[in-house]
């Protein structure tokens, strides 16, 4: 069985067993895709669209819905103004893992304190110690020609971000990208879109003092996922550090993902990238000029009720038992 298949089975077991869902939410349901379109097929790993907000666990639901609404953040394939009804949504998993940290800095320290050497967590936005779909204060890449950017849609963003003081005294901005069951395939080239992408990012990509070793691979290869997203996020981190956003001395990108998802690591098929390594992680490490600005984090870290909650562990952990 593949990782994705295993996780679907895990989600179904949780859906049937949990006491956080009413009986009406436990029936098979259609997946609500873009613009609210739903098909005829029903899936056990989806909630009925009217119960989509129940994909957020009780301890984070109110915090997340208020924060997303207040900041105008887009939910990925959201239902109405709420989250996706698909139980394998990586955005929903991210919010379920990190949502309480928006108002509870001690949870951030329990999760990341040892890894990052945190001495203090600082507010990144008014009343928030962690935020979601972070895009930074400035449109460095000209992604919003009309001057308006939407968090979570059509511009470079990371799933979450927080600000802290390291034990060394440095002020750090931490960007987090969250992966769950993602896998990527060979893309179809679109010359008009590729020209726009090159116009926005190429000069940053090949900058002499930029974060990337751009002489190792062609920019056309970088336009393939997940390298395209990784590159834009690393470029964002570099510009945020260069401009000392939020007064930060250093900006690092943390990539949270499950190592068991081997399909993600195999999402590398371009000959130019394969010369750098047989997996996404190997090739990406070769491309970084400052490897310390990128860290990989095992998402199993959050299967600790002291960091998340017993219900989070029940939903995503290995011990969920079918009732």
Q: Flag whether 182 is in a domain.
A: yes
- Tens digits of per-residue pLDDT, 207-247? 999 999 999 999 999 999 999 999 999 999 999 999 999 99
Q: Domain range spanning residue 265?
A: 89-310
Q: Flag whether 83 is in a domain.
A: no
Q: Flag whether 222 is in a domain.
A: yes
- Tens digits of per-residue pLDDT, 161-176? 999 999 999 999 999 9
Q: Flag whether 266 is in a domain.
A: yes
Q: Flag whether 54 is in a domain.
A: no
For residue 82, is pLDDT > 90? yes
pTM for the full predicted model: 0.95
CA atoms within 13 A on the CB side of 133: 21
Q: Flag whether 194 is in a domain.
A: yes
Q: Flag whether 205 is in a domain.
A: yes
If one counts the domains in the chain, the total is 1
Q: Flag whether 19 is in a domain.
A: no
Q: How far apart are CA 68 and CA 274, in angstroms?
A: 39
């Amino acid at each position: 069985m593949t990782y994705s298949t295993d996780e679907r089975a895990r989600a179904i077991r949780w859906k049937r067993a949990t006491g956080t869902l009413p009986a009406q939410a436990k029936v098979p349901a259609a997946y609500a895709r873009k613009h609210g379109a739903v098909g005829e097929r029903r899936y056990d790993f989806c909630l009925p669209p009217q119960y989509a907000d129940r994909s957020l666990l009780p301890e984070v639901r109110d915090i997340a819905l208020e924060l997303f609404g207040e900041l105008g953040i887009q939910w990925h394939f959201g239902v109405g103004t709420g989250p996706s009804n698909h139980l394998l949504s990586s955005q929903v998993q991210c919010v379920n893992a990190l949502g309480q940290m928006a108002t509870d800095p001690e949870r951030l320290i329990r999760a990341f304190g040892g890894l990052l050497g945190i001495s203090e967590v600082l507010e990144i936005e008014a009343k928030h110690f962690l935020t979601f779909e972070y895009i930074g204060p400035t449109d460095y890449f000209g992604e919003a020609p009309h001057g308006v950017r939407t968090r979570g849609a059509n511009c470079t963003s990371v799933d979450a971000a927080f600000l802290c003081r390291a034990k060394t005294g440095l002020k750090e901005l931490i960007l987090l990208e969250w992966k769950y069951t993602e896998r990527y395939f060979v893309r179809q080239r679109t010359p008009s879109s590729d020209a726009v992408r090159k116009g926005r990012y190429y000069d940053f990509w090949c900058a002499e003092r930029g974060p990337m070793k751009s002489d190792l691979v062609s920019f056309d290869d970088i336009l393939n996922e997940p390298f395209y997203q990784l590159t834009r996020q690393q470029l964002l981190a570099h510009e945020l550090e260069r401009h000392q956003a939020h007064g930060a001395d250093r900006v690092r990108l943390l990539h949270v993902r499950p190592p068991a998802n081997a399909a993600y690591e195999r999402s590398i098929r371009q000959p130019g990238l394969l010369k750098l390594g047989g997996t996404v992680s190997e090739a990406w490490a070769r491309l970084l000029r400052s490897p310390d600005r990128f860290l990989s984090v095992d998402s199993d870290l959050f299967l600790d009720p002291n960091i998340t909650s017993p219900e989070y562990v029940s939903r995503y952990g290995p011990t969920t038992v079918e009732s």
